[in-house]
Structure 1
Amino acid sequence: MPAETIALTEGPSSVWSSLRVSAAQASAEEPILASFMNAAILRHDRFEGALAYRLASKLADAQLDAMLARDVVEEAIAADPSIAARAAADMVAIEERDPACQSYLQPFLYFKGYLALQGYRVAHWLWGQGRETFAFHLQSRISERFGVDIHPAARIGQGIMIDHATSVVIGETAVVDDNVSMLHSVTLGGTGKADTDRHPKIGKGVLIGAGAKVLGNINIGEEARIAAGSVVLKDVPPHCTVAGVPAEPVGGRCNHPARTMNQQLESDS
């Protein structure tokens, strides 16, 4: 089922039963992990509760113990149900696009790109509530824990896959639309010292290859493809592949690159 359908109609309950089945199977296959699977997934009644528990266990530190962290995450999810819905959509996106993902269990428990993104969603809610210091605290913790630095003011859609994720940086005024895929070491950064709108706007269905740098208040059109290692300094039209330093159009039209994860430069038409 497409991520959009899960997020907009059935919500997180669509993935919950499958996640529980995978956790039960993992417990049977690896009894040494049974208590972990029970604490993280099986003893919870709903996806929202398991998500809050998992994020709290990852974001807790000396200043914020796990119980208090869980209270904050639960508060955010209760106030904004889209947090859990988007978390479910992100999980579906990863399972669909990443051949290394065997079930929903892997991203939910282990994939740092997924966990960092869900932590950002809580920090973003805090930012919207005017609790900026707390949002910055979570941003710092996410960076320390997962090697991913997402400003809590950035706006990120649903159905997002951040694969491998190490060294991903997303700036304060960046916008990432739905169904985007990006790999490790991607930067959505600014240029200069302007304190206004200074970061990229990434359209629906874009694929950003490993190590790509997209800099400045520029627009990346829907279903564009940015080759690994590229430095993008100007707008990219929809369905266009760009590569190089600085990046320029190459090859032909690309279709659904974020879903196919096809990083070759030839035309898809």
Structure 2
Amino acid sequence: MAKTLQTPARSRLNTVDPTWTQVREEAEEAVGREPALGGFIFATILNHDRLEDAVAHRLAQRLQHADVDATLLYQTFQAAMIADPGIGTALRADLHAVYERDPACHRLIEPLLYFKGFHSLATHRYAHQLWSEGRKDLAYYLQSQSSRVFAVDIHPAARLGMGIMLDHGTGFVVGETAAIGDNCSILHAVTLGGSGKEQGDRHPKIGNNVLIGAGAKILGNIRV
């Protein structure tokens, strides 16, 4: 069997970012199996140097609007990741969370290319950074588009940990003062909301390593 030549650049990539190396290898294999998607996979993955760039490109394409084009969104996402490099770490943790916990996921490229649960979480991470910078209108735009495109509604102020698996995602709602810890798994139609009566800190706080089943409704400033 032929071996892939390891150039110095490829060797460094394997050492520095094994996640991105695996994503690229899976993308190359996918193009070989399904040439009809070659252009799509090249534009989304193989044309980029980092996982961060690939995710930003994919989401910019999905969230663009006639008056807010993909180029502007891509630049916005890049700026958010420069301001908070931890977004890249969270993206990798979320990607592996899906790969390791979702029995329907067999490759890292699947959430990156196709799964709206991963896409909506990544969108929120950009929106949350914008919110923290005081760019609330653009953060609200991303929330609105995420709700329209992915049927997931996460307030930009909500605080999310890393390594979150959002399976399916449809109907997931997270309120403004909610918080979710690390390594949580959340199924569809989950609401983390307020009771409708309080002001201020009024939404649930989910700790680390929590599984929330489909259809769960958790209301008020309580801890799980």
* Fold similarity call, TM over 0.5: yes
Judge conservation of contact 1:142–1:148 (CA < 8 Å) in 2.
yes
Cα separation, 1, equivalents of 2:20 and 2:43: 15
Question: Shift of residue 59 of structure 1?
Answer: 1.2
Q: 1:25 to 1:59 in 2, by over 3 A?
A: same
Query: Residue 118 in 1 paired to residue 122 in 2?
Result: yes
SS of corresponding position for 1:219: coil
Mapping of residues 67-216 of structure 1, within 5 Å: 67-216=71-220
Q: 1:197 to 1:146 in 2, by over 3 A?
A: same
SS of corresponding position for 2:218: strand
Question: Shift of residue 78 of structure 1?
Answer: 1.3
Cα separation, 1, equivalents of 2:78 and 2:15: 17
Question: Shift of residue 61 of structure 1?
Answer: 0.8
Structure with bigger helix share is 2
SS of corresponding position for 2:90: helix
Cα separation, 2, equivalents of 1:196 and 1:11: 46
- What do residues 159-213 of structure 1 show as CA deviations (whole Å, max 9, x unaligned)? 0001011000011000000000010000000012322000000010000000000
SS of corresponding position for 1:140: helix
Counterpart of 2:42 in structure 1: which amino acid?
Answer: N
- What do residues 13-56 of structure 1 show as CA deviations (whole Å, max 9, x unaligned)? 23100000111000000000011110000011111211111111
Question: Shift of residue 12 of structure 1?
Answer: 8.6
Counterpart of 1:191 in structure 2: which amino acid?
Answer: S
Judge conservation of contact 1:12–1:88 (CA < 8 Å) in 2.
no
Cα separation, 1, equivalents of 2:167 and 2:126: 20
Counterpart of 1:159 in structure 2: which amino acid?
Answer: G
Aligned twin of 2:69: 65
| C-alpha RMSD of the superposition | 1.4
Q: 1:52 to 1:188 in 2, by over 3 A?
A: same
> Once structures 1 and 2 are overlaid, which stretch shifts more, 59-68 or 182-191?
59-68
Cα separation, 2, equivalents of 1:215 and 1:153: 17
Query: Residue 24 in 1 paired to residue 32 in 2?
Result: no
Cα separation, 1, equivalents of 2:170 and 2:163: 19
Judge conservation of contact 1:11–1:85 (CA < 8 Å) in 2.
no
TM-score by length of 1: 0.77
Q: 1:60 to 1:12 in 2, by over 3 A?
A: farther
- What do residues 118-166 of structure 1 show as CA deviations (whole Å, max 9, x unaligned)? 0000000000000111110110000001000000000000000010110
Cα separation, 1, equivalents of 2:185 and 2:144: 23
How many percent of aligned residue pairs carry the same amino acid?
52
Judge conservation of contact 1:119–1:142 (CA < 8 Å) in 2.
yes
SS of corresponding position for 2:78: helix
SS of corresponding position for 1:169: strand
Q: Which runs of 5+ in 1 are unaligned?
A: 1-9, 221-269
Aligned residues: 211
Cα separation, 2, equivalents of 1:68 and 1:58: 13
Cα separation, 2, equivalents of 1:12 and 1:143: 35
Cα separation, 2, equivalents of 1:14 and 1:215: 40
Counterpart of 1:200 in structure 2: which amino acid?
Answer: P
Question: Shift of residue 11 of structure 1?
Answer: 11
